[in-house]
């Protein structure tokens, strides 16, 4: 047979225990397959997949145990089950750690859990910095094509450095940089239940019109903006100041 580079299916049936081998014209074996007769069918029936480079190959069909009889063999382009039809489990928001992030996913098809390395492989993309990352599921074995699952990496929590009174009903808040952040959100409250929120791209902010003789609780978190939507990371530890 002469084929182009790609994946092929060898489909065969025989009324004897069959052995199918594929060789290059120089005699190198590329694949070897076996199937015994199913007593209920009276036939040995199977199909196997093989990866081949462009070129000419010899296909050897023989009986495994000296049997003789008739057989049928076809070689055709491999058409696997599209992995795009599989279901991929959800991935929660991940927090930036400075390292590549590789969350686990479960892949199922028609209620069956597929096996990584047998049915699919995984490639992660843009999975280190805050923003949108991707998991690409690549079908192998009986599956073909790809399917992509996106997830979000959010910035880690900033560290509050300064929470102090300035006088005249003002207070200053300052905090550390959070790598990859698009901006920050400051929460503050005098009753520790309902919070006012300030969004800023700066790492320090002057709170105004605060009430006197009250404790104010302050905390901050960073966000990353993807398109028009903001995705928030975890809060810093809170701190309080007396006004």
Beta bridge partners of 122: 137
Cα separation of the two ends of the chain: 87
**Which tokens in the block code for residue 98?**
């400075």
Non-local (6+) Cβ contacts of 66 within 8 A are none
The model's pLDDT over 174-232, given as tens digits with 9 standing for 90+, comes to 999 999 999 999 999 998 889 999 999 999 999 999 999 999 999 999 999 999 999 99
pLDDT at res. 243: 84
Q: What rounded mean pLDDT belongs to the chain?
A: 93
**Which tokens in the block code for residue 97?**
């750690």
Burial class for 209, CB neighbours closer than 10 Å (0-12, 13-18, 19+): exposed
Q: What's the chain's length in residues?
A: 243
Block means of pLDDT (10 residues each) for the chain, 243 residues, are: 89 92 94 92 90 92 83 88 95 96 96 94 96 95 92 97 91 96 96 92 95 93 97 95 88
CB 211 within 8 A of CB 217: no
């Amino acid at each position: 047979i002469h084929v182009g580079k790609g994946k092929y299916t060898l489909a065969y049936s025989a009324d004897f225990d069959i052995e199918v081998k594929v060789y290059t014209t120089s005699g190198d074996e590329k694949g070897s397959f076996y199937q015994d007769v199913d007593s209920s069918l009276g036939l040995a029936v199977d199909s196997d997949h093989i990866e081949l480079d462009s070129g000419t190959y010899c296909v050897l069909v023989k009986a495994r145990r000296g049997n003789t009889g008739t057989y049928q063999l076809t070689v055709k382009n491999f058409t696997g089950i599209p992995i795009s039809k599989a279901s991929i489990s959800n991935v929660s928001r991940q927090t930036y750690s400075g390292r590549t992030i590789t969350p686990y996913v479960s892949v199922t098809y028609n209620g069956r859990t597929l096996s990584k390395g047998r049915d699919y492989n995984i490639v992660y993309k843009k999975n280190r910095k805050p923003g949108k990352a991707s998991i690409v599921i690549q079908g192998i074995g009986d599956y073909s094509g790809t399917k992509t699952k996106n997830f979000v990496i959010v910035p880690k929590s900033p560290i509050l450095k300064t929470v102090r009174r300035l006088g005249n009903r003002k207070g200053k808040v300052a905090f550390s940089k959070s790598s990859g952040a698009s901006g920050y959100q400051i929460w503050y409250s005098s009753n520790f239940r309902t919070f006012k929120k300030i969004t800023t791209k700066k790492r320090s902010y002057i709170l105004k019109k605060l009430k006197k003789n009250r404790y104010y609780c302050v905390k901050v978190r960073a966000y990353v903006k993807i398109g028009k939507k903001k995705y928030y990371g975890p809060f810093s530890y809170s701190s309080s100041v007396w006004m």
